[in-house]
Amino acid sequence: MQILSLIDWVVLSATLLAIVVYGTWQTRGSKNVQDYLKGGNTSKWWTIGLSVMATQASAITFLSTPGQAFNDGMGFVQFYFGLPIAMVVICMVFIPLYHRLNVYTAYEFLENRFDLKTRTLTAILFLIQRGLAAGITIFAPAIILSVVLGWDLLTLNIIIGVLVIIYTVSGGTRAVNVTQKHQMVVIFIGMLIAFFLIVDKLPQDITFSKALSIAGVSGKMEILDFSFDLNNRYTFWSGIIGGTFLMLSYFGTDQSQVQRYLSGKSVKEMQLGLIFNGLLKVPMQFFILLVGVMVFVFYQFNEAPMNFNPTATELVLDSEFSEEYINLQKEQQALFNDKQELIKSFITSENTEVSKHIALANKSNDSLRDKARELIDKASENQSKKVESNDKDYVFIHFILNNLPRGLIGLLLAVILSAAMSSTSSELNALGSTTTIDLYKRNTSEKTEEHMVKASKWFTFAWGIIAIGVACIANLAENLIQLVNIIGSIFYGNVLGIFLLAFFFKFVKGHAVFIAAIITQFIVFALYFLDLYQHINLPFLWLNFVGCAIVIATACTLQLITKNDTTITT
């Protein structure tokens, strides 16, 4: 295990502290709610664009995505193909409406369109889901960094959480936006330097084009998949169709994103900010995946560990399966030596026969890695110790720690922690705003501006503490990340359906929507448990779509049956 050098500590601490201190100092002293929750509506389009991107890109984006490309190639980029379409729809439909109604939260609009109970229900669904997710945004990178760096998990959770709480509570939306701008600059610079260093670390006779050819013969450059195979998660069609709906719900109805563009100076600035995101997101994801592919090429010339998770390797070597594991390692080494000859021959001739042999060698390597994973799982089960055998999240951080020069390791760690902080700050900001505006302000008597700013700060602080608490107990759960995704899927479809009803089904009124939302939530819960106890086969990701479809169908039917809705709508 490599310990960080002094220069790494200086770069890491200086980068993170500079962003936090500058953000806190620059945005201190908000006097009214508009200032605190909407950043005084002063944000320019580039601030909005960077802020929206920083909110979506969590630390896991920078830890997992290169590992995803290392294992499965560039196909994951298709997941983002619907994003630009969603941006256009939000610019045309959502932004003008939110702006015209001068709302602070997306859920406020629902009272205007439907009624108070629908607004409150949707806001609560958001708070449950996002409150848990904020904890996981802190926990997910902390667990990986604690494993590879030997840092204490609890301390790391608290440090990330407290740094975010300081500036988010102090400066509100403006602090989130200002810090995210700087965090994105650090992220872009760090990833660009990492990319050029990886390419530079390849053997002298390997040009960038040859590196791509080597990746190509092993199937890592299969970017587009036009098949209609439902078992294949990332295809062109799932990206365009499923991706559009997913991004529409995330950017259009999730307060952590809505709050970013509501801080815009004008409708034009908000629209430009989202268009900026629509233009840059796909190439940015392509670039992060390309970094992973280059790491793959790097390990064609340098020996890679059998499993990139050091705890998993330690566990299996300390078990009754150690001999089997060592044999697999020997087989991998022999395969690596054979591959060197093949690659040399491929570089000089680019012969198709040789390329087939390289592809076969890499397939054999993958199957050895699969067998190693099985051994790790068995060892983990026998010793009753929870360890992650899927090492996707550990590939890039392993490469960083073992191959990048001193100082740059600190910068890349700053990239990962900046990404964690930027998403968490948006989440806390949104949770605080929704609690203040949709629950507290709406259900209490008229309060002064000063009081509301104070209340917003306390709610944001409370959500920060809850997020740290969730991050600290996350390790106790069997698979909490999956649990949070499941909880998200259970509520998200219903929430999206309510918003789609608001925008596109003008004849449907509040009472029908509220009843439909309650019925839908029960049905979605029932479907989830039927799947859990294996009475039906419905993977949890489908609950998003099912929830959305059921709430729309039920609300329309109820409206048509009852017709005489007495709910006042404006």
Does residue 184 contact residue 46 with C-beta atoms inside 8 Å?
no
Residue type, 566: T
Residue 272 touches another protein, criterion: CB under 8 A: yes
Residue 278 touches another protein, criterion: CB under 8 A: yes
Residue type, 331: E
Residue 100 touches another protein, criterion: CB under 8 A: yes
* Three-state DSSP state, 254: coil
Which residues, listed in sequence order, are joined to residue 264 by a DSSP beta bridge? 43
Only one of the segments 74-82, 134-142, 419-427, 476-484 lies at the binding site for another protein (rule: CB under 8 A); that segment is 74-82
Angle, alpha carbons 436-547-252 (nearest 5°):
45
CA-to-CA dists, residue 431 to 173, 175, 228, 254, 329, angstroms: 12, 15, 38, 10, 48
Which of 92, 526 has the CB closer to another protein? 92
Which residue's entry shows tokens 């310990």? 3
Dihedral angle of Cα 268, 269, 271, 273, to the nearest 10 degrees: 160
Count Cβ neighbours within 10 Å for each residue of 141-155 and write b for 16 or more, e otherwise. bbbbbbbbbeeebee
Q: Which two tokens stand for residue 259?
A: 């709050």
Kindly state the smallest distance separating residue 198's Cβ from another protein, in Å. 17
Task: Select from 81, 104, 459, 499 the one that contacts another protein (CB under 8 A).
Answer: 81
3-state SS string over 87-104?
HHHHHHHHHHHHHHCCCC
Task: Select from 7, 22, 44, 96 the one that contacts another protein (CB under 8 A).
Answer: 96
Residue 282 touches another protein, criterion: CB under 8 A: yes
Kindly state the smallest distance separating residue 32's Cβ from another protein, in Å. 28
- HSE-CB of 128 using CA atoms within 13 angstroms: 15
- Interface pattern 456-475 for another protein (x via CB under 8 A): --------------------
Kindly state the smallest distance separating residue 507's Cβ from another protein, in Å. 14
Task: Select from 122, 257, 271, 300 the one that contacts another protein (CB under 8 A).
Answer: 271
- Interface pattern 208-247 for another protein (x via CB under 8 A): ----xx-xx----xxxx-----------x-----------
Kindly state the smallest distance separating residue 255's Cβ from another protein, in Å. 22
Residue 283 touches another protein, criterion: CB under 8 A: yes
43: which DSSP letter?
A: B
* Binding residues for another protein, total number by CB under 8 A: 29
Which of 222, 370 has the CB closer to another protein? 222
Task: Select from 53, 69, 91, 472 the one that contacts another protein (CB under 8 A).
Answer: 91
Does residue 222 contact residue 73 with C-beta atoms inside 8 Å?
yes
Which residue's entry shows tokens 């949890």? 540
Task: Select from 23, 39, 49, 84 the one that contacts another protein (CB under 8 A).
Answer: 84
Length of the chain: 570
Task: Select from 17, 189, 279, 553 the one that contacts another protein (CB under 8 A).
Answer: 279
Which of 77, 165 has the CB closer to another protein? 77
Contacting positions for another protein (CB under 8 A): 74, 77, 81, 84-85, 87-88, 91-93, 96, 100, 212-213, 215-216, 221-224, 236, 271-272, 275, 278-279, 282-283, 286
